[in-house]
Amino acid sequence: MLKRHARAACTALAAAGLLLAGTGGATADSAPAAPSAAATLRTADAPPELLAAMQRDLGLTPTQAEARLAHEAEAGATAARLRMRLGAAFAGAWVDGADAGTLTVATTRAADTAAIRATGARAKLVPRSLAGLDADRAALDRAAGRATPVRYVDPRSNTVVVEETEPGAAAALLAATGTDAARVTVVRTAEAPRPLYDLRGGDAYYMNGSGRCSVGFPVTKGSTNGFATAGHCGRAGTTTSGFNQVAQGSFQASVFPGNDMAWVAANAQWTATPYVKGSGGANVQVTGSVLQPVGASVCRSGSTTGWHCGTIQQHGTSVTYPEGTISGVTRTTVCAEPGDSGGSYISGSQAQGVTSGGSGNCSSGGTTFFQPLNPILSAYGLTLKVSGSDPGPGPGEPEPGGTWRAGTVYAAGASVTHGGATYRCIQGHQAQTGWEPPNVPALWQRV
């Protein structure tokens, strides 16, 4: 915890044949092609500040940075569709390459490899499923202590990784849980994650007039404006003041440990905006909350170290802090320091989560963890403030009946009806007007 006291690239990529399969074009005799994942997530509208930070922190050229965002969007949609198709045999997916142009999907079933390759992805046959490794990690979580502070499933190695700070700690954990050592990779680490207190996110805020944290993402709940942030920053009832020390609001709900989530309701002086504070104070637009795949780029805004980028390493990580264990966070290579907690993680224009904790620093590098945003939105009934939303059906164009609703947070696998058809969610997100299932095949698949 960190608390203290695309542009034209899509056209060029398509012309070069580099976009991942799954977004076929229209012919003179066919209906217009459905929008690609890159178009849905508006990767071509990435602000210059985000692209510049990606170039600096990931060592990319301008063309690679733009291409990477487009490739990541397509890879996320393709991997999501394959996960549904492979079912229990699915063993994870990740992107590689400077421009994230290579998607690899792992399976435990040899018969699946042809279907994987048919999408343009690489296939990898492995012995263990993602669900099985998740079960191993969950068993380890129940017995883990401070000497084994981080556990996560690594799809690339097809193992559960256990980080230990003391020799033999991981072996003792495996023995205590009866976990097969062949399913685990042990990594020695000199640093244990800790909450990164005194944080900022896009802007600083202060709790009870003293400690400082960062705004995660502006939200609304009915007519109330507010923001999502980290749970370790405050408890329900904790009062807040803004970056300018003006009275701001109070925490309405908070969970920590277990998760690291909270939300603050602001008073009438404060208005939610669809922005994250980027490099040099520039506004970075937020247009949705589609969680990106392992290997994708992600940037973080924090009050101590500002704007930094890295990549997503693993989802569904468990971390044991001195205060207790949190589960379901995402592990990244983005650096952070005390004072950065609660701040925003964004990939392209898609909100990812809020800073929880980590180790290292922004001089020598480090590892940080974010609490994914969609569970916060779902748990508290919040609506992410986004820009560029479609205004919705016009006069004489009533929205078709069904169970789909804007504002609902849908997890991968959820089913809805819309316009008389049934659709299954393939990438978790908060629904918004303009993202009705027939309009966004990167997010919904008709069944």
| Active centre residues (catalytic) | 232, 260, 341
Query: Residue 429 contacts by C-beta under 8 Å, 6 or more apart in sequence?
Result: 288, 289, 290, 291, 374, 409, 410, 435, 443
Q: How far is CA 305 from CA 8, 167, 280, 336, in A?
A: 31, 33, 12, 7
Surface-to-core class of residue 171, CB atoms within 10 Å of its CB (0-12 exposed, 13-18 middle, 19+ buried): middle
Residue type, 391: P
Q: Tell me the angle at which helices 62-86 and 48-58 cross, rounded to the nearest 10 degrees.
A: 90
Residues forming a β-bridge with 366: 360
Rg (the chain; Cα; Å):
21
Query: Residue 174 contacts by C-beta under 8 Å, 6 or more apart in sequence?
Result: 140, 162, 180, 181, 184
Q: Which residue matches tokens 């925490």? A: 251
Query: Residue 218 contacts by C-beta under 8 Å, 6 or more apart in sequence?
Result: 225, 226, 227, 272, 273, 274, 275, 384, 385
